[in-house]
Amino acid sequence: MGHGKLIKFAQNETFSCLLQPSSQELLADGYFNLRDHSVKGRWVDFFKDAVNPGSLVLELGCGKGEYTIDLACRNPQSCYVGVDIKGARLWKGAKYATENKLANVGFLRTRIEFINAFFAKGEVDRIWLTFSDPQLKSENSRLTSPMFLERYRKFLKPGGVIHLKTDSRFLHEYTKAVCEVNGFEVLACTSDLYGDSGAQLEPEVREVKTFYEKMSLKQGFKITYMAFRIDGEEPIVKPSDPAQFDSKLWRSLEEPRHFFGQTE
């Protein structure tokens, strides 16, 4: 491990806005029986210094936290939690939030598979999925798969909205198919966010950009966007018919991205 990462990890321990729970404690009773963290159901206490702690919004897979921070600065009436497993990435967002005294910003270092250990029923208003890994070969690993949507449903408020912003047409079309086969309400859907079809969307959708979004735009990739609700009690199912989602077709059309001279 490089010296720079060690410094960041040490500084992470000093940031009150960053929670770094022990996976060993969460998994003490097994993977399928996670222990609840003490913050579950008590995020109002975590954000006690916020001027007006209203709705709670998550960004899952937040990376360095730039989207979380930008949204929080635009909407001081809401509280934002960025979730990621990479401590070196979270360091940047936590450092910025600390130095700029952003009381409505928090970060959580954990695997998204463990998310239900941290949020209680009806505690979350909205979820942002920004440039998630499309997981071309592993459906259950996609953050919009039925497996993950079932997790989110346990803590989203009725009418809560999930936002998906991605440069992966594969993930966009897959998510659209999941919504269609389950009868979910789709509030917005465009395959070209910065084209005419995205012009009427909320400013925060078009104006806030992650590092990877800017890189993808420079490489000529179109950005897609969806907003949808997953209300209901019926089990969430996969799109199993190729007429609903042709995984082979969309996988074949997916192009590689290049960041820092490397393909990702």
Q: Place 259 in a pLDDT band, splitting at 50, 70 and 90.
A: low
Instruction: Provide the domain count of the chain.
Output: 2
Comparison of pLDDT for 258 and 18, the residue scoring more: 18
Tens digit of pLDDT for each residue in 177-213? Answer: 999 999 999 999 999 999 987 778 988 899 999 888 9
* Residue 104 and residue 2 in one domain: yes
Q: Which of 133, 167, 192, 196 is catalytic?
A: 133
CB 107 within 8 A of CB 68: yes
Residue 67 belongs to some domain of the structure: no
Separation of alpha carbons 21 and 16, rounded Å: 13
CB 150 within 8 A of CB 188: no
* Residue 87 and residue 189 in one domain: no
Residue 16's closest CA among 124, 107, 87? Answer: 107
* Residue 110 and residue 147 in one domain: no
| Predicted pLDDT of residue 262 | 46
* Residue 260 and residue 213 in one domain: yes
Residue 66 belongs to some domain of the structure: no
Residue 246 a catalytic site member: no
Question: What is the value of pTM for the model shown?
Answer: 0.94
* Residue 233 and residue 151 in one domain: yes
Average pLDDT (158-165) is 97
| Predicted pLDDT of residue 4 | 78
* Residue 175 and residue 250 in one domain: yes
Indicate the average pLDDT of the chain: 93
* Residue 263 and residue 153 in one domain: yes
Residues 6+ apart with CB under 8 A from 87: 8, 9, 12, 20, 109
Tens digit of pLDDT for each residue in 21-72? Answer: 999 999 999 998 999 999 999 999 999 988 777 799 999 999 999 999 999 9
Residue 65 belongs to some domain of the structure: no
| Predicted pLDDT of residue 264 | 41
* Residue 17 and residue 94 in one domain: yes
Domain encompassing residue 8 = 1-26+37-55+75-115
Residue 84 belongs to some domain of the structure: yes
CATH of the domain at 162: 3.40.50.150
pLDDT at position 263 over 50: no
Tens digit of pLDDT for each residue in 206-232? Answer: 999 988 899 999 999 999 999 999 999
* Residue 125 and residue 227 in one domain: yes
**Among residues 115, 143, 163, which one ends one of the domains?**
115
| Predicted pLDDT of residue 203 | 87
